[in-house]
Amino acid sequence: MDLLKNKYGWALLAGSACLFGFAPFGIYPIPVLALAILFALWQRADTPRGAAHLGFAFGLGLFGAGISWIYVALHDYGDMAMLLALPATMLFCAFLALFTALAGYLQARIPAANALRMVLVMPAAWVSVEWLRGMIFTGFPWLTLGYAHSDSPLAGYAPILGVYGVSLVAAISAGLLAYISINLLREPIAALHSTRSGAYPNDMSWSLRSARLAIGSLATVSRGVRSALLILALLWLGGALLRTVAWTQPHGEPFTVALVQGNIAESLKFHEDAVAGTLETYRRLVTQSPARLIVLPETALPLLRRDVPENYVQRLRDHAIQNNGDALIGVFERDNGNYYNSVFTLGTDAEQHYRKQHLVPLGEFIPLRPVLGWFINGVLDIPMGDLTSGGRLQAPLDIIGQHVAVNICYEDAFGEEIIRALPQATLLVNVTNDAWYGHSQAAAQHNQISQMRALETGRMMLRATNTGVTSIIGPYGRVLQQLPQHREAVLLGMAQGYQGTTPYVRWGNAAVLVLIALMLAGSWVAARR
């Protein structure tokens, strides 16, 4: 293939291959190997600009393959014309690829010896830019490298350093692999060239001799390569051992949960004629559930809270009280002229509310409204697309003897925001509607993100979604139970509250940022000697 003869083609393919490291595929070594290829290409780049171009090509592959589902949301459910939705998706992927380009440029500008560049500078630059991508313009941390390791040995670092710390260890692993491969290949290639210039370049003896020399050079690897292999093994073994550490302890008694998956078609959800059917679906599923905690998805009831019939609310409340528990119900709220994406409780405890605070640009609010408002309203048709944030600090909901920290949809992508409710919160609940993305891999990727939040906090995560992935995730980040997607069902299971503080809950992202600064400072000092 001509593509494979081009270094940018290799970068593009390596980035595209990362897709298979994330859910639903979950082949977590692939992104590490792909990043090792990028690091090796960066090592050979002639200029910082050349490294940036390679990073951009890698990013185009990574995001073009990994978040192509943006098109589904814009075109299939946002009613954006294909001629606009396709270039809009491509432009968004290209914008995200600028971050990987920035990582390439930055690592090339920092002075460092070859080995330290691959093992310290490149990983530090990569994760610094991942962190920046998760912060700037409200943040988009999707496909952060660490999420691919929610089920890998490296997940053991999550309770200490968070997802960016897992990314850093994975990126260091990629740097070590790049260093090892470059050094292992250097001697065999030199051996082959030396034998080609010998007396019998066209004889069978040349092939045999060159093969013996190549194998012999591999058998006598340098001390640097041996050290790199040892560090690589220790990093992964250390992660596996850390996965066995119990950072938190049970709080209270286990209790039954019912996570309701209504499977309401997004194309019908906000149609006035379909509202009665939606309400009846959720009434039926709720009243058939014997659990103490019943959780409905994000905006399960496509109405304002004040417009939900009171007799309907009372039936749900009576059932929750009969179960000696509570129900969490997704709905919209209006207060002082502002609209909110909310969850409210019904049952044995007084009614409480949580309002989504981290809103999705374009989907839930219009950024730069005076400039972009007329255009967005003209090309997108998203119901309730101009909401108000519920505020940074909201107390956990006190229900069924637990302190429940609710996060709505996209909010669980931001670990530094989830930990604001901790250590007070004993349980995490995510309510989501990923029906916007059809049958793409978006829902599985989102569930993988929730696994990381459970790991970071040492809490169980309960996910109730409209079309999937509805799941119960344990405090070690493992999916304990899960419903099939795109099917009306109720997931019945057991949950347990947890108390205690992981290092990540205490420090947040500060620890990994300090570690990155030390790596860069150490490389700079070594380069000046």
Position 387 in a domain: no
* Confidence tier at 200 by pLDDT (50, 70, 90): very low
Active site residue 409: yes
Q: In this predicted structure, what is the pLDDT of residue 202? A: 54
Return the higher-pLDDT residue of 335 and 186. 335
145-164 pLDDT, tens digit per residue, is 999 999 999 999 999 999 99
Average pLDDT over residues 6-19: 96
Active site residue 356: yes
User: Which range (106-115, 210-219, 264-273, 385-394) has the least confidence?
Assistant: 210-219
Cα 124 to its chain centre, rounded Å, is: 19
Q: Are residues 192 and 301 in the same domain?
A: no
Position 389 in a domain: no
Q: In this predicted structure, what is the pLDDT of residue 199? A: 45
Please give the order of strands across the beta sheet that includes 427-432: 397-399, 402-408, 427-432, 461-465, 471-473, 479-482
Average pLDDT over residues 292-315: 95
Q: In this predicted structure, what is the pLDDT of residue 503? A: 98
> Which is catalytic among the residues 130, 266, 269, 356?
356
Q: Give percent above pLDDT 90 in the chain.
A: 75
> Which is catalytic among the residues 18, 93, 130, 298?
298
Q: In this predicted structure, what is the pLDDT of residue 3? A: 58
* Among the listed residues 128, 60, 119, the one whose alpha carbon sits nearest the alpha carbon of residue 90: 60
Total count of residues recorded for the chain: 529
Write out the residue range of the structural domain in which residue 462 sits: 249-357+395-501
pLDDT at 205 over 70: no
Q: In this predicted structure, what is the pLDDT of residue 363? A: 67
Q: In this predicted structure, what is the pLDDT of residue 436? A: 87
- How many angstroms separate the Cα of 520 from the Cα of each of 71, 121, 124, 127, 228? 38, 6, 7, 12, 19
Position 72 in a domain: yes
User: Which range (201-205, 238-242, 400-404, 499-503) has the least confidence?
Assistant: 201-205
- How many angstroms separate the Cα of 433 from the Cα of each of 61, 340, 374, 428, 430? 27, 15, 26, 17, 10
Average pLDDT over residues 15-37: 98
How many independent structural domains does the chain possess?
2
Position 368 in a domain: no
Position 32 in a domain: yes
Q: Do residues 71 and 57 lie in contact, with contact meaning Cβ atoms separated by under 8 Å? A: no
User: Which range (46-50, 278-282, 523-527) has the least confidence?
Assistant: 523-527
pLDDT at 269 over 90: no
Rg (CA), the chain: 26
* Among the listed residues 298, 25, 13, the one whose alpha carbon sits nearest the alpha carbon of residue 147: 25
* Among the listed residues 325, 361, 358, the one whose alpha carbon sits nearest the alpha carbon of residue 340: 358
Return the higher-pLDDT residue of 247 and 210. 247
Please give the helix or strand (H or E) that residue 236 lies within, else none. Answer: helix 223-242
Q: Are residues 229 and 282 in the same domain?
A: no
Active site residue 7: no
466-490 pLDDT, tens digit per residue, is 998 999 999 999 999 999 999 999 9
Q: Are residues 491 and 443 in the same domain?
A: yes
Q: What is the C-alpha to C-alpha distance for residues 152 and 140, in angstroms, rounded to an integer?
A: 23
Position 233 in a domain: yes
* Among the listed residues 241, 234, 191, 235, the one whose alpha carbon sits nearest the alpha carbon of residue 212: 191
Q: Report the CATH number that the domain containing residue 478 is assigned in CATH.
A: 3.60.110.10
- Specify the 3-state DSSP secondary structure of 407: strand
Q: Dihedral of CA 214/220/225/230: which sign?
A: positive
> Which is catalytic among the residues 266, 409, 411, 456?
409
Position 372 in a domain: no
- Specify the 3-state DSSP secondary structure of 81: coil
> At residue 261, what are phi and psi to the nearest 5 degrees?
-115, 100
488-512 pLDDT, tens digit per residue, is 999 999 999 999 999 999 999 999 9
Q: Do residues 275 and 302 lie in contact, with contact meaning Cβ atoms separated by under 8 Å? A: yes
pLDDT at 211 over 70: no
Q: Are residues 143 and 188 in the same domain?
A: yes
Q: Are residues 14 and 120 in the same domain?
A: yes
Q: Are residues 241 and 285 in the same domain?
A: no
pLDDT at 298 over 90: yes
Average pLDDT over residues 286-300: 96
pLDDT at 218 over 80: no
Q: What is the C-alpha to C-alpha distance for residues 395 and 168, in angstroms, rounded to an integer?
A: 32
pLDDT at 78 over 80: no
Q: In this predicted structure, what is the pLDDT of residue 359? A: 87
Q: In this predicted structure, what is the pLDDT of residue 207? A: 55
Classify residue 365 by its DSSP letter.
Answer: B
Q: Are residues 212 and 253 in the same domain?
A: no
Q: Are residues 236 and 272 in the same domain?
A: no
* Among the listed residues 104, 126, 124, the one whose alpha carbon sits nearest the alpha carbon of residue 116: 124
Q: At what angle do helices 310-322 and 275-287 cross, to 10 degrees?
A: 20
- The pTM score is 0.91
Q: What is the mean pLDDT of the chain?
A: 90
User: Which range (165-174, 336-345, 366-375) has the least confidence?
Assistant: 366-375
